[in-house]
Structure 1
């Protein structure tokens, strides 16, 4: 019979031995009337008993070989040796072999494969989850850092009025950021919620103490997911586009703050302050007088705008993902790598040099100068900045 099968003699003999000890005797005998009367090891074959036949100590279902239980693991390894996906692995198996629950076993084997999990495709985007519109102006504020023309700036944007403040920083330390925020908060008041990314300045203990002392709830976005802090990211883009085309940066900000928002016919300054600040355009005195507006209508317009954005975003290839539970093993794509990794960073987290520098006034003044720290042996002539970047001296030709 081996001449009728595309199989090595060794594998043929192995299937014969396993079949004799596990399946042949029970299948060749008369089947009982009910499934519960069958021996446990062949109970799963009861529904397909009429399609089973034995030839040369090998059980067949039609033209497919019935693999005995002791060889399931070996067959799964052969099927997935080339790391094909679930669909192709099932297609290969269905043509030549059979055992009960074979499809489920193949799915489990492919899902548990570490190599396939490391190089699997990214999951679909989840449906858009807009941030709820706050009830009051300046109750929820987004913040971020950005660079423009070689200078560092702090940006603050109100989620309700879309009012933007951009403050130049003398350094990137936590203390300098806190001082810039205090200047803005002195004009508009303290926000109830402050959202930022996971930058070292915002995740430091000093910034945490600042928020706790002033009664500010600090929310941080997910690492490497800029959309979670989308309001601030969008404000940075708006400011950069304005400043690239304007010579007077502050006048450009004033014009933005006094321009009515789409579908609301109220400017960010009107929503936040209740009045139109005077700009370079001629305007009557009546237009500059403070007026009150209905906060409910403003919120309705903002909610309608968010709903419209969600509608068009969700038309793309989005999918509801299953919620994660505590203890679930996950894999993430590390920056600079296309593979997915589940391992943790082996290096212990060191104290943030930016946070430590906040307690040293001289370090704050000289924050722009590189900080000399322990340098690897292969970069003995290099310096390391506060952000961790290694600066090597240029290689010059000896002419």
Structure 2
């Protein structure tokens, strides 16, 4: 016997639960109780395996049969079965090498109908873990939900890490991850004098392009009609170098990084729309509208308009502006999370601004201040994005184990799969493994595909010129 038990008598006052259950009176027997007694008389001493087989359907019994066959072929499983039957030794070093990782859970391991169980969870042999992982991941619920499902009935050492690796290697799961949360706000210092810092953006209405700018201190706006954005932008760098001012660009698809000009563009487009007539802007009407806009007091902001400066003292206005700005930052930072910085050369995934999928992959080639990153994609293009639209990706690295996959229709073990998102069908088409454990699988080098540029002349639709509508 592996265990020696000694029975000890305890008074009823010191053994409350069993004593209460043995003396607890029950109601009169029901019809179901009499039926159970009748079955017990005709079928005495039913065993636990017989009851289990009666409750299992044919599909579950086939699974248990396959599990039993694979368990008999697994030497580690049989060695652990023998150790549990005879009893664990006093020291971990006395265990065989394959059974030492079960030392911490030895008190929860037992044998039930020939199977090794950890609590209420079946221990899965190594040869079946690949197929079990693929079945667990078919719902694509993510790592947390898949772990919760596995903890109901399945176990093997390192199952949580294996599930994490499978989820990280599934392109379908990685492409459909939720968007990153917003980060704490970055407030820039207030300008000390008017027109020390201005914000500029383009606006279009009715096929007419306009350059809209606003002073960051006084909120003084202006509208300059232009003929071509491309032609104007081509000469802007020379213009900036000649006049000796610094130009800072905001991150694409992240308008809140330049929120002042975005709000100004919205207001200026309303003025342009109200001044539109006969396929063009009436300058006299637009100038009068701009005059009224500039003279309108701007409340609940730290900026000071000309009219407001006459009505309030400078100290009172600044105190009100600082309080308003502090309240806005406090409200914005109430639900934020600081994202980890990405190092130069890291492999990342970019969020598609239209589909919101993380299906664009590239390498970080430049890290700029204010969470601005330059990423070189697989096609060779360099995209600039804010940290909010980037996610870490591990470079492709296929780890070999020196053995072939015994199940070609199932994915390899989590230690053998790549953590880089690959295009697979439920993890069924992973690349084959190399026979040499020291030599990784070689992948053919493919040159990036060159993008083809269209030579057509783009013209705005006629309906936007004849009957312009507010965008």
- TM-score range (shorter-chain normalised) is 0.5 to 0.7
The aligned counterpart of 2:323 is: 304
Matches within 5 A, 1:18-33: 18=74, 19-20=76-77, 23-33=80-90
Task: Determine the C-alpha separation between the residues in 2 that align with 1:130 and 1:266.
Answer: 14
Q: Among residues 154, 172, 190, which one is paired with 2:211 in the alignment?
A: 154
Q: Sort the Cα spacing of 1:216 and 1:35 in 2 relative to 1 into closer, same or farther, 3 A.
A: farther
Q: TM-score, normalised by structure 2?
A: 0.56
Confirm or deny that 1:208 pairs with 2:264. Answer: no
Task: Determine the C-alpha separation between the residues in 2 that align with 1:149 and 1:114.
Answer: 42
Task: Determine the C-alpha separation between the residues in 2 that align with 1:101 and 1:129.
Answer: 41
The aligned counterpart of 2:183 is: 126
Q: Point out 4+ residue stretches in structure 1 off by more than 6 angstroms.
A: none
Q: Sort the Cα spacing of 1:142 and 1:35 in 2 relative to 1 into closer, same or farther, 3 A.
A: farther
Confirm or deny that 1:165 pairs with 2:222. Answer: yes
Matches within 5 A, 1:9-24: 9-18=65-74, 19-20=76-77, 23-24=80-81
Matches within 5 A, 1:113-262: 113-174=170-231, 176=232, 201=233, 206-245=235-274, 248-262=285-299
The aligned counterpart of 1:385 is: 458
The answer to whether the Cα contact below 8 Å between 1:164 and 1:235 also exists between their aligned partners in 2 is: yes
Task: Determine the C-alpha separation between the residues in 1 that align with 2:303 and 2:357.
Answer: 48
Task: Determine the C-alpha separation between the residues in 2 that align with 1:26 and 1:100.
Answer: 17
Cα RMSD over matched residues?
A: 3.7
Q: Among residues 329, 349, 363, which one is paired with 1:331 in the alignment?
A: 349
Q: TM-score, normalised by structure 1?
A: 0.65
Q: Sort the Cα spacing of 1:165 and 1:327 in 2 relative to 1 into closer, same or farther, 3 A.
A: same
The answer to whether the Cα contact below 8 Å between 1:146 and 1:152 also exists between their aligned partners in 2 is: yes
Tell me the secondary structure at the aligned position of residue 341 of structure 2: coil
> What CA deviation, in whole Å up to 9, does each residue of 1:235-288 have, x standing for no partner?
1112123344467111221222223332579853579xxx98xxxxxxxxxx9x
Task: Determine the C-alpha separation between the residues in 2 that align with 1:270 and 1:332.
Answer: 46
Runs of 5+ consecutive residues of structure 1 not aligned to the other structure: 177-200, 277-286, 288-292, 351-373, 377-381, 390-399
Tell me the secondary structure at the aligned position of residue 152 of structure 2: helix
Q: How big is the shift at 1:29?
A: 4.4
Task: Determine the C-alpha separation between the residues in 2 that align with 1:265 and 1:324.
Answer: 34
Runs of 5+ consecutive residues of structure 2 not aligned to the other structure: 1-48, 276-281, 363-376, 383-451, 462-471
Q: Sort the Cα spacing of 1:141 and 1:70 in 2 relative to 1 into closer, same or farther, 3 A.
A: farther
The aligned counterpart of 2:121 is: 64
Q: How big is the shift at 1:117?
A: 0.8
Task: Determine the C-alpha separation between the residues in 2 that align with 1:148 and 1:211.
Answer: 27
Q: How big is the shift at 1:128?
A: 3.3
Computing the radius of gyration from Cα coordinates, the structure with the larger value is 2
